Amino acid sequence: MLQEMLSSDPALEVVGTASDPFIAREKIKELHPDVLTLDVEMPRMDGVTFLKNLMRLHPMPVVMVSTLTEKGADVTFEAMDLGAVDFVTKPKIDLVNTFEEYTQEICTKVKTAARVNRQMLERQYNRYVANSNARPIVSRALPSSVDSRTLGVPNKLTTDAVLEKKAFNSRHFRTTDKIIALGASTGGTEAIKEVLMRLPANTPGMVITQHIPAAFSLPFAKRMNTVSEMTVCQAEDGQQILPGHAYIAPGDKHLLVERDGARYVCRLHDGPPVNRHKPSVDVMFRSVTQNVGPNAIGVLLTGMGADGALGMKELQEAGASTIAQDEKTSVVWGMPGEAVKLGAADYILSLEVIAQKILDLASH
């Protein structure tokens, strides 16, 4: 089925398939593929064990294929720790009606994986090595032969489909509380972790939109809660945004920030996808622009596409401080790169120093 889906895209060629990791190992040596799709569950060796060996000996872009379960999510996030670029979930039901949509998703993610910053994959794996007993990379990947073709995608709705554009309401109850709004996509689960690990428990309240399936957002929030001094949870409708807490958008709802008197609260919106994403970073940023204005700090991390770039420009124009991850440390410099092109980023920083800049801006 995967072979049929990938072969339907003229920009992709399936050069080989393997029924287990031992066959895959020999075919990778023989065929030198640009990208590997790797099932989490395989005979003779599980996908994560194979990925560890692959990233050590022959680091290359990998898209994981995962079951849509909490256990599948945990294993997939472990694979992202190891340097996998992205993942798709196996369709469970109604494949006849979702075949075209699923085909577009996996083809787009494979083409994106072919263009990723490969040094970032090596750095990601070596960070994993530093925190475990794994062995470091011993050889470098072959350069990719895939060019930067434009990805074919359908028309998309703008933020207006969910939230009408309007200026920051300065008549709100006065408050000096800061709100941090952070968006990410491809490579973002690891980038968000790197930021949250460096933030102390007294950090201002944070809202996070990461493009992620609905079944994976709660396991992701739980995972982030274990690595951060902040309390990290999946956002709930009407939940008050408190200092020292981070609220991650559910994978099937837009996350908005609203004012309730002198308080900020989370609002979940079941509107249509914006920029083909639900949750959308642009939607979250616009709500923060309108309700937080100059007290906001906007952050855009690694990700494919342009979701969040226009929203970051709106934040900046409302007086908020804005940060974009730099190209060198991004797995895919799509979303932050588009923000930089728009002049929407006050600061363009490497991933390792973004948390400190957030704290510096929050203290002013």
User: What local confidence, expressed as pLDDT, does residue 173 receive?
Assistant: 56
Domain co-membership, 196 together with 297: yes
Last residue of a domain, one of 75, 104, 130: 130
Three-state secondary structure along 216-248?
HHHHHHHHHHHHCCCEEEECCCCCECCCCEEEE
Share of the chain above pLDDT 90, in %: 65
Q: What is the pLDDT of residues 295-342, one digit of tens each?
A: 999 999 999 999 999 999 999 999 999 999 999 999 999 999 999 999
Residues in the chain: 364
Domain co-membership, 100 together with 170: no
Domain co-membership, 90 together with 176: no
Last residue of a domain, one of 111, 130, 149: 130
Question: In this structure, what are the phi and psi dihedrals at residue 23, rounded to the nearest 5 degrees?
Answer: -70, -40
Domain co-membership, 120 together with 223: no
Q: Is residue 141 part of a domain?
A: no
Query: Measured in whole angstroms, how far is the alpha carbon of residue 175 from the centre of its chain?
Result: 31
User: What local confidence, expressed as pLDDT, does residue 101 receive?
Assistant: 83
pLDDT top residue among 94 and 24 = 24
Among the residue ranges 1-10, 22-31, 113-122, 230-239, the one predicted with the least confidence is 113-122
* 142 vs 306: CA distance, rounded Å: 28
Domain co-membership, 68 together with 199: no
Alpha helices by DSSP H, listed for 114-261, are 118-130, 188-196, 214-227
Q: Is residue 285 a contact partner of residue 315, using CB atoms and an 8 Å limit?
A: yes
The domain of 259 spans 165-362
Domain co-membership, 195 together with 305: yes
Domain co-membership, 287 together with 339: yes
Q: Is residue 285 part of a domain?
A: yes
Of the pLDDT bands very low, low, confident and very high (cuts 50, 70, 90), residue 198 is very high
User: What local confidence, expressed as pLDDT, does residue 273 receive?
Assistant: 93
Among the residue ranges 8-22, 46-60, 333-347, the one predicted with the least confidence is 46-60
Domain co-membership, 230 together with 357: yes
Q: Is the pLDDT of residue 223 over 70?
A: yes
Is 252 among the residues known to form the active site?
Answer: no
Among the residue ranges 95-99, 232-236, 246-250, the one predicted with the least confidence is 95-99
Is 185 among the residues known to form the active site?
Answer: yes
Domain co-membership, 175 together with 314: yes
Collapsing DSSP to helix, strand or coil, 184 comes out as strand
Collapsing DSSP to helix, strand or coil, 283 comes out as helix
Question: In this structure, what are the phi and psi dihedrals at residue 26, rounded to the nearest 5 degrees?
Answer: -70, -40
Catalytic residue among 9, 66, 211, 217: 211
Last residue of a domain, one of 104, 130, 156: 130
Domain co-membership, 175 together with 103: no
Domain CATH for 311: 3.40.50.180
Q: Is residue 148 part of a domain?
A: no
Q: What is the mean pLDDT of residues 92-105?
A: 78
Q: What is the mean pLDDT of residues 150-166?
A: 70
Domain co-membership, 230 together with 353: yes
The two beta strands, 205-210 and 62-66, are unpaired
Of the pLDDT bands very low, low, confident and very high (cuts 50, 70, 90), residue 290 is very high
Catalytic residue among 34, 81, 86, 185: 185
Q: Is residue 257 part of a domain?
A: yes
* 83 vs 126: CA distance, rounded Å: 9
Domain CATH for 90: 3.40.50.2300
Of the pLDDT bands very low, low, confident and very high (cuts 50, 70, 90), residue 174 is low
E-state strands within the chain: 36-39, 62-66, 86-89, 179-184, 205-210, 231-234, 245-248, 254-260, 263-269, 296-300, 321-325, 347-349
Domain co-membership, 125 together with 237: no
Q: Is residue 138 part of a domain?
A: no
Catalytic residue among 9, 282, 307, 326: 307
* 236 vs 257: CA distance, rounded Å: 11
Residue 19 gets which letter from DSSP? S
User: What local confidence, expressed as pLDDT, does residue 136 receive?
Assistant: 58
Q: What is the pLDDT of residues 120-138, one digit of tens each?
A: 777 777 877 777 665 654 4
User: What local confidence, expressed as pLDDT, does residue 44 receive?
Assistant: 83
Q: What is the count of structural domains for the chain? A: 2
pLDDT top residue among 32 and 150 = 32
Contacts of residue 126, defined as CB under 8 A and 6 or more positions apart, other chains included, come to: 136, 137
